[in-house]
């Protein structure tokens, strides 16, 4: 029995970890929107406040990394490892700051909902 492959792949649900990874290297608190799998979400004020705190922690972690780099020759490997552990713990803390149910803090604008409904109603394209 062969299964027909459709052109659509199932989208992975948005979790706290995926949101964290998508916003890791950007200033997420400066934007009021977040895009995932072609859908643009609007953030609520609570999420933006959490992201603002997270930005401060991120700046502190970057400073720790710069200090490690600048003083690497004078430090022992133990200090470098301790700094890297501090950075990893700080990133884990930033991830834990985000709410578990991230979707409750994101809203799909009404124009996006209509566009999704229309896309779902379109028939799947079959391969010849």
Mean pLDDT of residues grouped by 10 in the chain (128 residues)?
53 80 76 80 84 88 87 76 89 88 77 54 55
Rg (CA), the chain: 21
Residues 6+ apart with CB under 8 A from 41: 33, 34, 35, 106, 107, 108
Distance CA 51, CA 31 (A): 10
> CA-to-CA distance for 39 and 46, rounded, in angstroms?
21
Which tens digit of pLDDT belongs to each residue from 50-83? Answer: 888 888 888 898 898 888 888 877 767 878 888 8
pTM over 0.75: no
């Amino acid at each position: 029995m062969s299964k027909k492959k459709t052109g659509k792949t199932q989208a992975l649900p948005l979790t706290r970890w995926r949101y964290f990874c998508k916003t890791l290297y950007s200033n997420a608190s400066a934007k009021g929107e977040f895009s995932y799998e072609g859908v643009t979400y609007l953030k609520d004020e609570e999420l933006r406040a959490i992201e603002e705190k997270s930005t401060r922690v991120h700046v502190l972690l970057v400073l720790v990394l710069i200090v490690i780099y600048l003083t690497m020759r004078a430090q022992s490997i133990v200090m470098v490892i301790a700094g890297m552990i501090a950075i990893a713990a700080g990133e884990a803390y930033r991830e834990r700051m985000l709410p578990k149910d991230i979707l409750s803090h994101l809203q799909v604008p009404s124009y996006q909902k209509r566009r999704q409904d229309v896309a779902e109603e379109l028939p799947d394209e079959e391969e010849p």
